[in-house]
Structure 1
Amino acid sequence: MDRDQMRASESDRQVVMERLRQAVEEGRLDVTEYQERVDAAMQAKVYSELDILLSDLQQLPPPGFPDASMEPTTVMPASLSKANQQLRDNADQGSRKWKIAGVAVAIAAVLSLILFAIAPQLFLYIAIAVLVILVLFVVAAVAGLF
């Protein structure tokens, strides 16, 4: 029996899906193509069905047989694919949200220090009020009120 008709294992499918993920990162596939090929890889029964999914990408060893001499592409293309651009934009939005949260925490810390320097008694009363509220929430949770 030749290799093309041999049944593929789950690890063979995982190798192909990892290569497809790399192809998206390299800009060789868009997200729609990637999803279609991943679905086909999950349904593949024999090696020939897996080989077809990688045939138009750069030359690769057969699924399940990693080749140590193959190096991933390290040079970024001049223009990013739509999928890569979307991924980068989403990452930038996420980091902006964390920056805003960090600035808000920093402002709250500075205001707390100023309040403590001006009126330590007021700061103490606020801290006690916050602790009382937290204790009430814990008691309500233990009692099963929410």
Structure 2
Amino acid sequence: MDRDQMRASESDRQVVMERLREAVEEGRLDVAEYQERVDAAMQAKVYSELDILLSDLQKLPPPGFSAAGLEPTAVMPGAPLSKVNQQLRDSAGEGSRKWKVVGVSVAIAVALALILIAINPEIFLYIAIGVLVILVLFVVAAVSGLF
């Protein structure tokens, strides 16, 4: 299918409206024409309808510059990530997952220890020995490269 006939998304319309806003700031459009084009952008269904709104607003080099040295005038920003996708990307680090498992394990162990101490205070000695054993196991696992 030809790009001109493909349906435009809301983010495509937002990019066009941002470019129209820049054109007003540059003095290329007056406010009335800007409002007409924004209304047309909001109603646009396909890319060709959006392209028409920007066709006469292309940035050109100043007079006297050769066309060979032209570079793109602006990089189109990517669509921003949703909050969920951003959280997934932030927490995707392999190291953070390992430390989350360790933190949850320690929290469960502490909760169980507090419950047992409340029930039988003499069990504190056994808990202290168990914690030392767990710490030794963590050190061995760290030295051997398991995490």
- Taking structure 1 as the reference length, what is the TM-score of the superposition? 0.42
Larger RCO (alpha carbons 8 Å, 6+ apart):
1
Quick check: which has more Rg, 1 or 2?
A: 2
